[in-house]
Amino acid sequence: MSGRSPARLTVLAGPTAVGKGTVSAAIRAQHPEVWLSVSATTRAPRPGEVDGVHYRFLSEEQFDALEVSGDLLEWAVVHGRHRYGTPRSPVAERLAAGTPTLLEIDLQGARQVRRTMPDARFVFLAPPSWEELVHRLVGRGTEDAEERERRLATARVELAAEPEFDHVIVNDDVARAAEELAHLMTE
């Protein structure tokens, strides 16, 4: 018998506050066989976020070192402010072991992965409406008005990129959206 064949990588992108984190958490809870990559970031932790679980929270100098070492599969400055990137080795190890692997990254990162790993599956998480997206961003209450405006400006650009993706999942209901994504990842 040959060993397990490498799993396919799935990239989940979508605008701020559409529910990427919520849907990813639902998958983690319901489908322990799926591994969610932990990104590195220079942004500060939000209340309740745990270093090494939600993100690896790095200083600017630590992120520089990671970038120079070549161990980032992709990285980008998101919302014109902080750097976010995907550590390469853990992803390669999980895929080689046959583990379905999910990256929750922004549009710029998704485009970089499209160039370097064209066999990956690209999924766009879409809001039911623009009004609902704004409602979720305000309701989350984690950004001030200026930061929300910045994120909504990025969101308009990201929504226009929906046709670049292989699949679109509308996040009207978290459990349904998570099941749809898990199904795509494990089919």
Ligand X SMILES: Nc1nc2c(ncn2[C@@H]2O[C@H](COP(=O)(O)OP(=O)(O)O)[C@@H](O)[C@H]2O)c(=O)[nH]1
Residues that bind ligand ADP (CB under 6 A): 16-22, 136, 139-140, 171-174
Q: Minimum distance between the CB of residue 26 and ligand ADP, rounded to whole angstroms?
A: 9
Radius of gyration of the chain (CA): 16
Q: Residue 86 interacts with ligand X (CB under 6 A)?
A: yes
Facing residues of 13 across strands? Answer: 124
Q: Which residue is nearest to ligand ADP (CB)?
A: 19
Q: How far is the CB of 92 from ligand ADP (least distance, A)?
A: 25
Task: Tell me how far, at minimum, the Cβ of 182 lies from ligand ADP, in Å.
Answer: 15
Among 91, 105, 125, 169, binds ligand X (CB under 6 A): 105
Choose the contact partner of 173 out of ligand ADP, ligand X, none; CB within 5 to 8 A by kind.
ligand ADP
Interaction of residue 7 with ligand X, rule CB under 6 A = no
Judged by CB under 6 A, the residue of 7, 9, 17, 125 near ligand X is: 17
19 is in an annotated binding site: yes
Q: Please say whether the beta carbons of 71 and 91 come within 8 A.
A: no
CB of 23 to ligand ADP, least distance (A): 7
d(CA 128, CA 112): 27
Q: Does 90 bind ligand X (CB under 6 A)?
A: no
Return the one option of ligand X, ligand ADP, none that residue 171 interacts with (CB less than 5 to 8 A, by type): ligand ADP
Question: Would the annotation count 20 as a binding residue?
Answer: yes
Looking at the Cβ atoms of 105 and 113, the one nearer to ligand ADP is 105
| DSSP string computed for the chain | ---PPPPPEEEEE--TTSSHHHHHHHHHHH-TTSEE--EEESSPPPTT--BTTTEEE--HHHHHHHHHHT-EEEEEEETTTEEEEEEHHHHHHHHHTT--EEEE--HHHHHHHHHH-TTSEEEEEE-S-HHHHHHHHHHH--S-HHHHHHHHHHHHHHHHTGGGSSEEEE-SSHHHHHHHHHHHHH-
> Based on CB atoms, which residue is closest to ligand ADP, 79 or 121?
79
Does position 9 bind ligand X by CB under 6 A? no
CB 41 within 8 A of CB 56: yes
Q: Which residues are part of a known binding site?
A: 14-21
